[in-house]
Amino acid sequence: MKRNRPSLGADFSNHVFRILVFISAATVVLSLVGIIFFIVRESLPAMQNLGFSLFESDWYPTHWDASYGIGIMLVNTILIAAFAGGLVWIVGMVIALYLKEYARPKEREGIIRIIEYLTGIPSVVFGFFGIVIMAQWLLNAGAWTGLNFLNASIMLFLLTLPIMVSLTYQSLESVPVEIREGAIAMGSKPLGVMAMSIRVAFPGILNAAIISFNRIVGETMIVLMVSGGSNLVPQSFFDPFRPLTVALGSEMGEVELRSLHYSTLFLIGFVLLVFSFGLTQLSAEIAKRGERWLKR
Partner 1 sequence: MVEAIIRNLFRFITYLIVAMVLFVLGYIVAPGFRYIFQQGFLTEFPRSGMTEGGIFPALVGSAFMVLLVFAISVPLAILASIFLSEYLKGRLSAIFQSICSTMTAIPSIVYGLFGLVFYCVQLGMGTSLLTASLSLSTMTIPFIVTSTTEFLKAVPVDIREAAMSLGASKFQVSIMVIRGAWKGMLTAVLLGMGKSFGETAPILITGTVFYATQLPRSIHDPVMALPTTIYAIVVNLGERSQWMAQGTASLMVIFVVIIYSAIQILRGVRKG
Query: Which residues 189-218 are close enough to bind partner 1 by CB under 8 A?
Result: 189-191, 211, 214, 217-218
Among 95, 143, 164, 175, binds partner 1 (CB under 8 A): 95
By C-alpha distance, which of 205, 215, 242 is closest to 227? 242
Span of 23-31, 54-62, 64-72, 168-176 interacting with partner 1 by CB under 8 A: 23-31
Strand partners, 228: 241
Among 80, 225, 238, 241, binds partner 1 (CB under 8 A): 225
**CA 200, chain centre distance (Å):** 24
- Is 13 one of the binding residues for partner 1 (CB under 8 A)? yes
User: How far apart, in whole angstroms, are the C-alpha atoms of residue 109 and residue 145?
Assistant: 39
Give 128 or 202: the residue with its C-beta nearer to partner 1: 128
- Is 24 one of the binding residues for partner 1 (CB under 8 A)? yes
The overall longest dimension of the chain from CA atoms, in Å, is: 86
DSSP 85-130: HHHHHHHHHHHHHIIIII--HHHHHHHHHHHHHHHHS-HHHHHHHI
Among 55, 60, 82, 122, binds partner 1 (CB under 8 A): 122
- Is 273 one of the binding residues for partner 1 (CB under 8 A)? yes
- Give the number of C-alpha atoms closer than 13 A to the C-alpha of residue 149, restricted to the C-beta side: 19
- Is 220 one of the binding residues for partner 1 (CB under 8 A)? yes
Give 75 or 125: the residue with its C-beta nearer to partner 1: 125
Residues 39-68 close enough to bind partner 1 by CB under 8 A: 39, 41-42
Span of 64-72, 78-86, 197-205, 269-277 interacting with partner 1 by CB under 8 A: 269-277
Give 4 or 48: the residue with its C-beta nearer to partner 1: 4
Window 137-176: contact mask with partner 1 (x via CB under 8 A): ---------------------x--x---------------
CB 240 → partner 1: shortest distance, Å?
14
User: How far apart, in whole angstroms, are the C-alpha atoms of residue 67 and residue 54?
Assistant: 9
Which whole-number Å values give the CA distances from 261 to 47, 58, 216, 220, in the listed order? 12, 13, 24, 19
User: How far apart, in whole angstroms, are the C-alpha atoms of residue 81 and residue 214?
Assistant: 8
By C-alpha distance, which of 156, 135, 188, 30 is closest to 92? 156
- Is 20 one of the binding residues for partner 1 (CB under 8 A)? yes
Span of 51-59, 65-73, 166-174, 246-254 interacting with partner 1 by CB under 8 A: 246-254
Phi and psi at residue 68, to the nearest 5°: -120, 75
- Is 272 one of the binding residues for partner 1 (CB under 8 A)? yes
